[in-house]
Chain A
Amino acid sequence: MAPPLPLHLAVALDGAGWHPAAWRLPDARPTELLTAAYWTDLVTEAERGLLDFVTIEDGLGLQSSHHDRPDGRTDQVRGRLDAVLTAARVAPLTSHIGLVPTATTTHTEPFHVAKALATLDYVSLGRAGWRMQVSARPDEVGHFGRRQFPQLNITDFTDPSVLAFVTELFDEAADFAEVVRRLWDSWEDDAEIRDVATGRFVDVAKLHPIDFEGPRFSVRGPSITPRPPQGQPLVTALAHASIPYRLGARAADVVYITPADADIAGATVAEIREHQAAAGRAEQTVHVFADLVVFLGDTDAAAQAGRDRLEELAGAAYTSDAPIFTGTPQGLADRLLAWQEAGLTGYRLRPATLPGDLRAITRGLVPELQRRGAFRTAYPGGTLRGLLGLPRPANRYATV
């Protein structure tokens, strides 16, 4: 039998972990969730496990158990820091791992987001990425007071007005991503010339207005920030259905999906590849990672007991948009390698508890995958794009 293909591995960091009661465990640090030390420790641990990157969750409203409004609960982690700034704070203290913060496209300015991510790429020496995210929550609209959202039950995807609304948010996100990418390219790599003889600092022929004109907004450019080390920081998106699959296929380098099983994973990968071809990107590498929530233990029984304990603390069974894995790191390795046959190129694991399940990934799962020849044993050095086998993109505006 052929050795398994090396897989890519990311972890999704959020609060004290993805289980709402995780903050109550003895090793949780719930009073430190807003400190630099907490995030540095987590990302350093992920780097110790040679992972490709971490994502950092974010949002423009208070965390909630509802999709469309705050829930008023006081028994779960509430309050979080800006993810881009958290990533920047950790960047100088790490050296290999990719840093992929979440930034919303619905209420923010593409010009600001583009220069922030370009700057994250500078401060991390080429390890920046972005998880783009739309916001459909009416309470977040109220935080900005700039637009009106229709009153809809946004979980009902059979309603045509919901579909139209969601399509609009994702089309806006696609425009946003296009503006961000154009701004990254708006400086050619060698635009800065420092020509003492002529007194010119830059060659203005290598700075380009992007002149984006769309139905929702227009942006002139160029960026104030020169093209970042990776040329284009990594763009990623989480997708659960056809509209977001299409956005991912059009705009992202990595699409996270949430398949319930290997068959669904295979069908979803095929659908994304079709959207990718339709967008004219068939020749480009677009990674498709499956998201999994993981509850890990030394034995299956221990993992289940840990999950049971959390559910008891929460007073409810745990549910997620993503598939849930409960078991040993060995069992998880089996699952990841088996699902890989569906065409997945990697995984974004959501640790149910922090730091517990993160350590089980870095100190249990990773060595297990290494033993099977399916994971790197050292960082090769270089950028995040390089780690993922993605080339440094040519600049769309360069003429030579």
Chain B
Amino acid sequence: MTKPPRQIRLGAHFPGVNNTTVWSDPRAGSQIDFASFTHLARTAERAKFDFFFLAEGLRLREQRGRIHDLDVVGRPDTFTVLAALAAVTDRLGLTGTINSTFNEPYEVARQFASLDHLSAGRAGWNVVTSWDAFTGENFRRGGYLAAEDRYRRAEQFLRTSWQLFDSWHGDEVVADKDSGTFLADAGAGAFGHHDDQFDITGQFNVPRSPQGRPVILQAGDSDAGREFAAATADAIFSQHNTLEAGQAFVADVKGRLARYGRGHDELLVLPAATFALGDTDAEAQENALQIRRQQVSGQTALLFVEHVWNRDLSDHDPDGPLPEDDPVVGENTIARGRASVRQIRDPLAIARQWRELAEAKKLSLRELVIEVTGRQTFIGTAATVAAQLDDLVQQRAADGFILVPHVTPGGLDEFADKVVPLLQERGSFRADYETETLREHLGLPPRPTLEGELR
């Protein structure tokens, strides 16, 4: 008898404010109207996805001192949208990014516990870190952190939040009308947390929610980020979506789990993935190229190269070569508020690499950007794509994917209608929801409470 295939986990990313999202497409709708969120969430739920995912930004991106105007600009509040989506879906997990730098644990824990109650156990939290003073200017407390302290604060933020979630055990509310006892324990929710980031004490005011704690997602790729995920996350949102890179990443992060007393199945690796479909593989290739050209205009390409060169390149021709001078090394003053900019650690090396690639393939600046950025992970007919992503999961290069459609809000429709049924035929994706909570959908063990944790 053959072993049943490994089960694929799927998340649906609401298209965001970067150039993956093509707003100029005639099918593109609003990125802010609630109807758009409802459409994507209901599509994902119809296709039995594990969860919906919403990213966050806390300051509008700027480049050359002005607000970036070429990509989608403007997004809603994460918690508010997820709570509203709980009303128009029944089983779909509702996950979103909440920054650990520009928030306080008591307030965020209350919001996640509330969301988990209001969605009957479907809440998930993508914990991100930040440190830049640029974003801090929108906050009364500034919130500026030394870069090296951001994971420290994030981890302590998360552990503090867990302490708050676990401060109610779940059996305190008895609400016995006859005896007049509402609470079994007057000290329910009592907590005290004291470390170098948070020194707080009191009583948490949301009783234990269905999942106890929301599912924790993370996206860090640095060594510190991977370690943080291994210590604390339920799922990691990675960028490694090819077989070799995926297997290496999975082996690395899962190899770190043992030192925290965790098993291999307790951390899911979910690469971000884009896709382009067609009736034939050749047509899909043509569609993919078309999407890439829509995503990367000449202006977009120039601005992208400025992230690395860290200086104004507006006098350059996007159809010409890369700049001849080397990038300006140091704090990036040309582009602010972009996660991708913060990840550039060695601009000179990137420039060298890009020049070599452009020369070898005879690429213009714009063609180079198309080449090096966000190509579609999966291109082909529905059958080709289903086979590709199933293979990656069966060969342990990933546990599933967070799909990033390029059109709002209908960009997932075709995937849901054509690819998902083929995955279901293969037996590697559920035909219907079998569980209630997000944690259960993902096959994650119930999280122990802090007292029960070895770590």
Contacts and interface: CB of A to CB of B under 8 A. Distances in A.
Interface stretch (A140-148, A346-354, A360-368, A377-385): A140-148
Given A85-B111, A201-B73, A92 B88 contact: yes
A78 interface: yes
A331 interface: no
A203 B67 CA distance: 9
A204 B72 CA distance: 12
Contacts of A196: 24
Nearest to B34: A123
B87 A144 contact: no
B320 to A, nearest CB: 18
B175 A142 contact: no
Given A89-B84, A142-B201, A80 B73 contact: no
Contact of A203 (B24, B38, B69, B297): B69
Interface in A198-256: 199-204, 207, 216-222, 224-226
Interface in B281-333: 297, 299-300
A127 to B, nearest CB: 12
Nearest to A220: B137
Interface string B140-177: 11000000000000000000000000001000010101
Contact of A74 (B32, B33, B76, B183): B183
Given A139-B202, A201-B73, A34 B207 contact: yes
B206 interface: yes
Contact of A85 (B83, B102, B182): B83
A204 B39 CA distance: 29
Interface string B111-126: 1011101111000000
B297 A199 contact: yes
Contact of B114 (A28, A73, A85, A204): A85
B110 interface: yes
Contacts of A26: 177
B69 A201 contact: yes
B175 A145 contact: no
B285 to A, nearest CB: 25
A222 B102 CA distance: 16
Contacts of B180: 21, 24, 75, 313
By DSSP majority rule, is chain B's interface helix, strand, loop, or mixed? loop
A202 B59 CA distance: 15
Nearest to B102: A109
Q: How large is the interface on A (under 10, 10 to 19, 20 to 34, 35 or more residues)?
A: 35 or more
B117 A224 contact: no
Given A24-B180, A89-B87, A116 B33 contact: no
Interface stretch (A45-53, A57-65, A277-285): A57-65
A70 interface: yes
B205 A59 contact: yes
A224 B80 CA distance: 14
A70 B201 CA distance: 13
Contacts of B199: 145
B75 interface: yes
Given A23-B175, A74-B185, A79-B207, A122 B76 contact: yes
Contacts of A122: 32-34, 76
Contacts of A112: 77, 103
A90 interface: yes
Interface in A1-55: 21, 23-26, 28, 30-31, 34-36, 40
B203 interface: yes
Interface residues of B, number: 75
A29 to B, nearest CB: 9
B118 A89 contact: yes
B74 interface: yes
Contacts of B168: 79
Contacts of A84: 79-80, 83
A140 B247 CA distance: 47
A245 B361 CA distance: 71
A146 B186 contact: no
Contacts of B60: 207, 222, 224
B138 interface: yes
A73 B72 CA distance: 51
Contacts of A107: 104, 107
A340 B181 CA distance: 41
A82 interface: yes
A147 to B, nearest CB: 10
A161 interface: no
A357 to B, nearest CB: 18
A76 interface: yes
A296 interface: no
A110 interface: yes
Contacts of A91: 84, 87
A80 B115 contact: no
A178 interface: no
Interface of A: 21, 23-26, 28, 30-31, 34-36, 40, 59-63, 70, 72-82, 84-86, 88-93, 107-112, 115-116, 118-120, 122-123, 125, 139-140, 142-146, 187, 192, 194, 196, 199-204, 207, 216-222, 224-226, 313
5 contacts: A36-B86, A145-B199, A204-B66, A220-B59, A224-B58
Given A78-B182, A119-B80, A226-B32, 11 more contacts: A23-B182, A30-B177, A82-B111, A88-B81, A89-B87, A108-B107, A118-B77, A125-B34, A142-B200, A145-B199, A202-B67
